Amino acid sequence: MEDSTIKEEIWIEKYRPVRLDQVAGQEETIERLKSYVATKNLPHLLFSGPPGVGKTASAVSIAREIFGEDLWRENFTELNASDERGIDVVRTKIKNFAKTAPMGRAEFKIIFLDEADALTSDAQSALRRTMERFSNNCRFILSCNYSSRIIEPIQSRCAVFRFRRLSDEAIRKRLEYIAKDQVLSITEDGYEALIYISQGDMRKAVNSLQAAAFVEPNKSISRETIYRTTATANPEDIRHLIETALRGNFRAARKELNRLLYEEGLSGEDIVGQIYRAISEMDNRMILDLGLSEKRIVELVDIIGEIDFRLTEGATEKIQLEALLAHFALSNPD
Ligand SMILES: Nc1ncnc2c1ncn2[C@@H]1O[C@H](COP(=O)(O)OP(=O)(O)OP(=O)(O)O)[C@@H](O)[C@H]1O
């Protein structure tokens, strides 16, 4: 691969699915969506699910497949509910888009509204009226992280689709495809690291791969490169940090923490996030080995929540993280 490819192209764009068939890992949802495409008709749709799992890509694919490559851009618009200045801007844009007739033989246009759950419920009521007003020639696809934040009158007017976090296999398959296309080699532990970092978010997985490929354009991409370029601690280091603290070895844990903060340049919030994840993913053997009771695990999660909150409020990272390790190191209160 030429260096210029790595530098100039954004892979999440280059590898954005353009047909429903290319959307990885959402099989059930995609099958249902394909049946609408087959009839070239749509109800209003509500897509809910975490970031980076294919909601926007599916909406764009629907438009491309219904309207065809030559006309989909004229008949499709994407608006973001959160970065516009309120519902009025959204409504004006919708009105302007909706007032011209669909191009070609299409019977309707599609309006994709991302982050619809960022709208207040008053704004959503206004949106609902707008949807009704233009429903003769527009179909709305609303996207949100939590469908529970969408008012009931909108939910009941939409067919609701839940997009899931992508499985490890779906992420891996897509990364293998991109690696082949970019003539890159990724080590086995490199794949594991990308899957760990992505947590089911394909956008994160692809971006992390591109960041690593940028610094190692001609080499095999390993776990170390991936953790370094994404400012993520190796999960084994985090496990070791937790174990050291839980065994009461506070000073050694503090030393390890300082290495993560100052040599690896990780942020306090990221470390707390990874500690939380490591505690949640601890297997029975480790729990037994460390002599942790259910009650103690609950206390640990409780204090992680407290420290996480303090960090978002701007408290000093080093002091808060050391306080967290101190809690871990205190003898089991049982
Ligand atoms: N299921 C998927 N299959 C293949 N690629 C995907 C998938 N999901 C996400 N991607 C990749 O991640 C990028 C972002 O995905 P997309 O915009 O569809 O996410 P989203 O679910 O709409 O997220 P958000 O809620 O943040 O808008 C895509 O351009 C594509 O490169």
DSSP calls for 247-306: TT-HHHHHHHHHIIIIIS---HHHHHHHHHHHHHT--HHHHHHTT--HHHHHHHHHHHHH
* Domain-wise residue ranges, the chain: 26-162, 167-229, 235-329
Across the chain, the runs of DSSP E, i.e. the strands, are 44-48, 76-80, 109-114, 138-144, 158-162, 185-186, 220-221
Confidence at 107, pLDDT banded by 50, 70, 90: confident
- Work out which ligand 1 atom sits closest to the CA atom of 11: 31
DSSP state for residue 134 in the 8-state scheme: T
Sequence-separated (6 or more) residues with CB below 8 Å from residue 252: 244
- Work out which ligand 1 atom sits closest to the CA atom of 14: 31
Read off the pLDDT of residues 5-57 as tens digits, 9 standing for 90 and up.
445 689 999 999 999 999 999 999 999 999 999 998 899 999 999 999 999 99
- The backbone torsions φ and ψ at residue 283, rounded to the nearest 5 degrees and listed phi first, read -85, 170
Read off the pLDDT of residues 140-185 as tens digits, 9 standing for 90 and up.
999 999 999 999 999 999 999 999 999 999 999 999 999 999 999 9
> Which residues participate in the annotated binding site for ATP?
49-56
CB of 174 shorter than 6 A to ligand 1: yes
Is residue 2's pLDDT more than 50?
A: no
> Which residues participate in the annotated binding site?
49-56
Mean pLDDT of 85-114: 84
CB of 17 shorter than 6 A to ligand 1: yes
CB of 59 shorter than 6 A to ligand 1: no
Assigned CATH class of 167-229? mainly alpha
CB of 23 shorter than 6 A to ligand 1: yes
Write down the pLDDT at residue 22: 95
Confidence at 92, pLDDT banded by 50, 70, 90: confident
Write down the pLDDT at residue 220: 87
Q: How far apart are CA 256 and CA 241, in angstroms?
A: 6
Is residue 82's pLDDT more than 90?
A: no
Assigned token pair, 334: 């049982």
CB of 308 shorter than 6 A to ligand 1: no
Mean pLDDT of the chain: 91
**Fold classification of 235-329 (topology level):** Zinc Finger, Delta Prime; domain 3 (1.20.272)
Mean pLDDT of 297-326: 95
Write down the pLDDT at residue 332: 55
CB of 48 shorter than 6 A to ligand 1: no
Q: Whose CA is nearest to atom 17 of ligand 1?
A: 56
Please answer whether residues 96 and 138 qualify as being in contact, where contact means their C-beta atoms are separated by less than 8 angstroms.
Answer: no
Do domains 26-162 and 167-229 share one topology? The answer is: no
Based on the number of CB atoms within 10 Å of its own CB, is 143 exposed (0-12), middle (13-18) or buried (19 or more)?
buried
- Work out which ligand 1 atom sits closest to the CA atom of 53: 8
- Work out which ligand 1 atom sits closest to the CA atom of 50: 25
Write down the pLDDT at residue 4: 45
**Long-range CB contacts for residues 260-266, cutoff 8 Å, separation at least 24:** 260/233, 261/317, 261/318, 261/321, 264/228, 264/231, 264/233, 265/231, 266/231, 266/232, 266/233
Read off the pLDDT of residues 203-260 as tens digits, 9 standing for 90 and up.
999 999 999 999 887 778 999 999 988 889 999 999 999 999 999 999 999 999 999 9
Please answer whether residues 10 and 209 qualify as being in contact, where contact means their C-beta atoms are separated by less than 8 angstroms.
Answer: no
Write down the pLDDT at residue 264: 86
CB of 238 shorter than 6 A to ligand 1: no
Please give the model's pTM, rounded to 2 decimal places: 0.85
CB of 200 shorter than 6 A to ligand 1: no
Read off the pLDDT of residues 275-306 as tens digits, 9 standing for 90 and up.
999 999 998 988 988 888 999 999 999 999 99
Write down the pLDDT at residue 197: 95
Please answer whether residues 271 and 321 qualify as being in contact, where contact means their C-beta atoms are separated by less than 8 angstroms.
Answer: yes
Helix axes 250-258, 235-246, angle to 10 degrees: 150
Give distance in angstroms: CA of 301 to centre of ligand 1.
Answer: 31
**Fold classification of 26-162 (topology level):** Rossmann fold (3.40.50)
CB of 25 shorter than 6 A to ligand 1: yes
Write down the pLDDT at residue 204: 96
CB of 50 shorter than 6 A to ligand 1: no
CB of 55 shorter than 6 A to ligand 1: yes
User: Which of 19, 26, 56, 141 most suits a substitution to test ligand 1, by most atoms within 8 Å of the C-beta?
Assistant: 56
Give distance in angstroms: CA of 29 to centre of ligand 1.
Answer: 14
User: Which of 9, 16, 27 most suits a substitution to test ligand 1, by most atoms within 8 Å of the C-beta?
Assistant: 16
Give distance in angstroms: CA of 73 to centre of ligand 1.
Answer: 19
Residue 96 identity: N
